[in-house]
Amino acid sequence: RKEVEQDPGPFNVPEGATVAFNCTYSNSASQSFFWYRQDCRKEPKLLMSVYSSGNEDGRFTAQLNRASQYISLLIRDSKLSDSATYLCVVNRNNAGNMLTFGGGTRLMVKP
Amino acid sequence: EAGVTQSPTHLIKTRGQQATLRCSPISGHTSVYWYQQALGLGLQFLLWYDEGEERNRGNFPPRFSGRQFPNYSSELNVNALELEDSALYLCASSLTQTGGTEAFFGQGTRLTVV
């Protein structure tokens, strides 16, 4: 089993739709969580950190469920520019500051 | 403030040759990660350096090696290049804190083996 798992997609949604991605992690000692965005043939860039109480940044909402060991990302009112691959990242603090990336979920927003 | 820088941006090598890729982390960052991303695939973890030491290694053969220098910059070496080594090689840096911090990526080195 992979340490961080994501549905690879692709998720094909129309503009304006709401879409949600989930990510599960296997190491219960994980303490920090992030969502990254990667555009085609570009480097990943930090989208947002994920806090225990959940957090929102504009159209994006991230949530963490420690009991079930999953993280979610909700995108409201999808834009064409949201088309990208979204990577879930987990920090294993019991192994220093080791960051582990999921395989990514591809989102395609259509007009 | 300068971000993570990688050099070269593109590299073309012949099968069997050696490639050396370089990464300079963000100032103050002591952790450096290397990832391989073949076309259309996800990030595959290669190596993690922190405070000059190799902390973890992904499932790659020994011909993939590297090091971290006292100034925390890092080098990835790939010996005996094979065609399937053609990929985007990404370097990321982060602070070393038990609280956990995000990583920042360089723009990558695109290696082509012919």
For chain A, what is the radius of gyration of the CA atoms? 14
Is the CB of residue A101 less than 8 Å from the CB of residue A88? Answer: yes
From the list A42, A89, A97, which residue is nearest B96 (CB)?
A97
Chain A residues within 8 A (CB-CB) of chain B?
A: 8, 31-32, 34, 41-46, 49, 87, 89, 91, 93, 95-104
**Which residue in A100, A98, A104 sits closest to A10, CA to CA?**
A104
Amino acid B98: pLDDT:
47
CB atoms inside a 10 Å sphere around CB B41: 12
- Comparing A93-107, B10-24, B64-78, the range with the smallest average pLDDT is A93-107
Determine whether B9 is exposed, middle or buried from the number of CB atoms within 10 Å of its CB (0-12, 13-18, 19+). Answer: exposed
The Cα angle at residue B30 between residues A86 and B28, in degrees rounded to 5: 95
Give the integer Cα–Cα distance in Å for A18 and A40.
Answer: 22
Fill in the amino acid letter for A83. S
As a whole number, mean pLDDT of residues A37-58 equals 92
On the question of pLDDT at A28 being above 90, the answer is no
How many H helices and E strands in chain A? 0, 11
pLDDT of residue B99: 47
Q: Is A50 helix (H, G, I), strand (E, B) or coil?
A: strand
List the single residue in A with minimal CA-CA distance to B32. Answer: A98
Determine which of A8-17, A84-93, B60-69, B73-82 has the lowest per-residue pLDDT on average.
A84-93
CA distances from A71 to A37, A46, A99, B101 (A): 15, 15, 15, 17
In this predicted model, what pLDDT tens digit does every residue of B20-66 receive, in sequence order?
A: 999 999 998 999 999 999 987 888 999 999 889 998 899 999 999 99
The reported pLDDT for the residue numbered A34 is 93
Chain-centre distance for alpha carbon B20:
10
Instruction: With beta carbons under 8 A apart, name residues in chain A contacting B103.
Output: 46, 89, 99
Strands A55-57 and A4-6, bridge-based pairing: unpaired
Q: Which of A32, A45, A46 sits opposite B100 (nearest CB)?
A: A32
| CB-based contact A98 B94, cutoff 8 Å | no
Per the prediction, chain A carries an average pLDDT of 91
Average pLDDT over residues A93-98: 61
B97 has pLDDT over 80: no
Share of chain A above pLDDT 90, in %: 75
pLDDT top residue among A110 and A41: A110
- What mean pLDDT is predicted for residues A5-21? 95
pLDDT for the residue numbered A95: 56
Distance of CA B86 to the CA centre of its chain: 14
What letter does residue A16 receive in the DSSP assignment?
T
**What is the average per-residue pLDDT within B66-88?**
97
Whether the pLDDT of residue B100 is over 70: the answer is no
